[in-house]
Amino acid sequence: MASPALLMRVVASAYSVAEKAATIVRNVMSAGDLGIVEKAGPNDLQTKADRLVQMSICASLARKFPKVTIIGEEELPTDDVTEDLIEDGHCEEILKKPCPAQYTGIKEEELVIWVDPLDGTKEYTEGLLDHVTVLIGIAYGGKAIAGVINQPYYNYEAGANAVLGRTIWGVLGMGAFGFQLTEAPAGKHIVVTTRSHSSALVNECIAALNPDHVIRVGGAGNKIIQLIEGKASAYVFASPGCKKWDTCAPEAILHAVGGKITDICGNSFQYNKEVKHMNSAGVLATLRNYDYYASRIPNTVKESLVP
């Protein structure tokens, strides 16, 4: 039997690395000292979990795939990673699946991995644990083609004996796994948006969509999960605050199940290693009916957000 294609090996490793990350996230929380640092302000925080998880993910993947470009959210030294942070396992189930034909010839140096070690840091510090995700997105040719999202606290309200956490993954041309794909109720317009980064522009954009209901939660990964599990019909964020490591993994998973994500103006995101990190024209994502929402974004909003 031929050895698995590079892409499948990277995804299989990212899966195990994300599970290790979730354990680190839970351990930091249960130890009680989050080690919070303000980066750009009170809504832009970094914790000990962000730092340890990023070192774990980046060092683990770099050791196995040394020619892959890995870009993480936190600016950290890479040389002082202790051996207990390294995860060298992989998910056997993923390795057994055939790689989509268009990706079988990919070389290591052609891949870019975008890492958000703890998406929803502010919510993590406030105990809103179901908002928190670990994001590992894999890009090729500037496109998000595969992604892993771990929810360290999935199921945390289900009682003392609940198994905590789950890992969702997907590859374009193959589909996405680890959750039950569900569509939002037909005819209902449920918009999921930011919880802590609201603004007049964000609210003007949402009002123009005339939603039946607005859900305000933290984390881009969490918002995409709301779409693929049918809790929301559109994710709308008319603000420049989101970054490439927030959207790469969620985009791959959303696109793998037929959804669509762009900036507010309808442009696709690019994920090549030279690209700027900020998604400065915001985010518009849906599982279905993208055109309905895109057509209702006011021009004033689009003109305010320059890609």
268 and 295 share one domain: yes
Q: Are residues 168 and 211 in the same domain?
A: no
More confident: 76 or 8: 8
Residues 54 and 148 placed together within one structural domain of the fold: yes
Categorize the per-residue pLDDT at 307 as very low, low, confident or very high, splitting at 50, 70 and 90: confident
Q: How many CA atoms lie within 13 A of 235 on its CB side?
A: 32
- Considering the domain architecture, whether residues 264 and 143 belong to the same structural domain is answered as no
Same domain, 292 and 207: yes
**Domain-located, residue 229:** yes
Same domain, 121 and 18: yes
Reading the block at residue 218, the tokens are: 């933290």
Same domain? 119 vs 216: no
Q: List residues forming the annotated binding site for Mg(2+).
A: 73, 116, 118-119, 246
Task: Tell me if 182 is assigned to some domain.
Answer: no
Q: What's the whole-number average pLDDT of the chain?
A: 95
| Residue 26 phi, psi dihedral angles, 5° rounding | -70, -40
Residues 6+ apart with CB under 8 A from 87: 16, 17, 19, 20, 56, 60
User: Cβ–Cβ contacts within 10 Å for residue 209, how many?
Assistant: 19
Domain boundary among 120, 150, 174: 174
Give the per-residue pLDDT at 42: 85
Tokens of 248: 């790469």
pTM for this entry: 0.97
DSSP-based three-state secondary structure for 134: strand
pLDDT, residue 80, reads 78
Last residue of one domain, picked from the residues 147, 174, 201:
174
pLDDT at 259: 98
Asked whether residue 79 is assigned to any structural domain, the reply reads yes
Residue 236 lies in a domain: yes
Contact criterion met (CB below 8 Å) for 231 and 190: yes
Identify whether the C-beta of residue 123 lies closer than 8 Å to the C-beta of residue 146.
Answer: no
C-alpha span between 70 and 264 (Å, rounded): 27
Shared domain for 49 and 117, answered yes or no, is yes
Q: What is the DSSP string of 105-119?
A: T--GGGEEEEEEEEE
- The CATH number of residue 44's host domain is 3.30.540.10
Map residue 186 onto helix, strand or coil.
coil
Give binding residues as ranges.
Answer: 73, 116, 118-119, 246
Task: Count how many domains the chain has.
Answer: 2
CATH code of 233's domain: 3.40.190.80
Q: What is the pLDDT of residue 241?
A: 84
Domain holding 125, by residue range, is 6-174
Closest CA to 229 of 196, 252, 253: 253
Please give the pLDDT value at position 159.
85
Q: Is the residue at 35 inside a domain?
A: yes
45 and 73, same structural domain? yes
Q: Which residues are catalytic?
A: 50, 121
Same structural domain, 167 and 208: no
Domain co-membership, 165 together with 194: no
Q: How far apart are CA 134 and CA 87, in angstroms?
A: 15
CA 215 to chain CA mean position, Å: 18
| Same domain? 78 vs 155 | yes
pLDDT at 1: 58
